[in-house]
Copies of this chain bind each other. A is one copy, B any other.
Amino acid sequence: MQTIGYYNGTIAPLEELMIPANDRSNYYADGVYDAAYGRNHKIFALDEHIDRFFKSLSMIRIEPNLTKEELKTLLQSLVDRLDSDEFCLYWHMTRGTALRGHAFPKGVTPNLLVTVRPHKLLDTASCRYKLWSVEDNRYYFCNIKTINLLPNVLANQTAKDHGCDEAIFVRNGYVTEGSHSNMAILKNGRFITAPLTNLILPGVTRLHTLAICREKGIPVEERAFSFAELMDADEVIMMASSVQGVAISHINGTPVGGKDTKTYETIRSAYRQKYLSETE
């Protein structure tokens, strides 16, 4: 199949898949999601994504009606149906289907949606991204991967309106993260990224990048860094499963980074190698 949509046992081309209007995703964004990428029908870092997904479910009090192993088996079986070599795998679970009412509905089971689509990974060796900064006016549980994403949509579109690739959120003068990414800087050979608090998503790519830095002897600091530090950094790096790591050339139209290509390239190429070897 060219695209795959799955909903509670029904499989269809994604563009044709239907869900009930009363799915609580539709009225309340009452659910959480995760997404992973891969090639050769192999899903990269699936365990990390599954673990985060189950944590997200727990934090919004949805009790999943399948185990981690059952979900992994299902996701793999859907990826196996895709014609394409490289893919994006997305899934979300919502609290259930019920007439609209804020409180948790009684006697319902969660809904599981899965989508699989072709996705060609960006060649990050030969490009740099541009960012546009926006005020981080989101809620205070950005550590949960919920589908309440309108603030992220609006931020991302603002970036696009300014000819940029991604938005970067700034809260009280400090960089939190992107609209669908984490952010890091290199300064004097050190890799600096925001700590895991309720202000950012615990990114899987962030986690792997930190591990790579440690393996390569690059000192890491998990601490809040300011917008001024961002603009003055030797390199700025955006991290997301969809792009892995990509260096930044401009923020708000001002050139940034480009002063430590060696360290950036060490990290970037190690990450790509890890991805290629694990999806061989």
Contacts and interface: CB of A to CB of B under 8 A. Distances in A.
Q: On chain A, which size bracket covers the interface?
A: 35 or more
Nearest to A35: B100
A19 B26 contact: yes
A138 B25 CA distance: 18
A160 B26 contact: no
Interface in A206-260: none
Contacts of A141: 137, 151
A22 B26 contact: no
Interface string A137-174: 11111000011111111101100100000000000000
A21 interface: yes
A147 B99 CA distance: 15
Name the residue among A3, A14, A24, A151 with the largest chain B CB count within 10 angstroms. Answer: A151
A230 B19 CA distance: 43
A15 B20 CA distance: 8
A156 B28 CA distance: 12
Number of copies: 2
A93 to B, nearest CB: 12
B14 A99 contact: yes
Interface in A156-206: 156-157, 160, 179-180
Interface string A3-32: 101010000001101111111111111100
Nearest to A20: B18
A30 B152 CA distance: 10
B18 A157 contact: no
A139 B151 contact: yes
A117 interface: yes
A262 interface: no
27 contacts: A3-B99, A5-B21, A7-B21, A14-B21, A17-B20, A18-B18, A19-B19, A21-B115, A24-B153, A25-B25, A25-B29, A28-B147, A28-B150, A28-B153, A29-B29, A29-B148, A30-B149, A30-B153, A60-B154, A95-B153, A102-B157, A103-B160, A104-B153, A139-B151, A141-B151, A146-B150, A148-B149
Given A28-B150, A102-B149, 18 more contacts: A15-B20, A18-B20, A18-B21, A25-B26, A27-B92, A28-B152, A29-B147, A29-B148, A29-B149, A99-B117, A102-B152, A102-B153, A103-B157, A103-B160, A137-B141, A139-B139, A147-B150, A148-B149
